[in-house]
Copies of this chain bind each other. A is one copy, B any other.
Amino acid sequence: MFVIMVYDVGEKRVAKMLKTGRKYLNWVQNSVLEGQLSPGLYAKLKSEVSKILDEKEDSVIFYTWRTEQYTKREILGLERGAIDYFV
């Protein structure tokens, strides 16, 4: 499955959240990561994220889909992380 993760967390947890995200996904932009994951790894990622986040302050959104067939990705300006998933 393809996963986009966007996070908005308190400053104290930013570094840890990014580090955890990068264990599973590729960093593409400030607080945005993307990648292909098995459902099992996706579950592990969510489990790790939920341990880090403060539910009263933080927000992490995951967009997932099985196929990239219907998805397009366009970038304006800089390509910060190198990604080759999308054609």
Contacts and interface: CB of A to CB of B under 8 A. Distances in A.
Interface of A: 4, 6, 8-9, 28-32, 46, 49-50, 53-67, 69-80
A70 B65 contact: yes
Contact of A76 (B31, B46, B74): B46
B75 A60 contact: yes
Contacts of A31: 8, 30-31
A59 B46 contact: no
B4 A63 contact: yes
B78 A71 contact: no
A67 B70 contact: yes
B65 A53 contact: no
B29 A61 contact: yes
Identify the interface centre among A31, A46, A64, A76: most chain B CB within 10 Å of its CB. A76
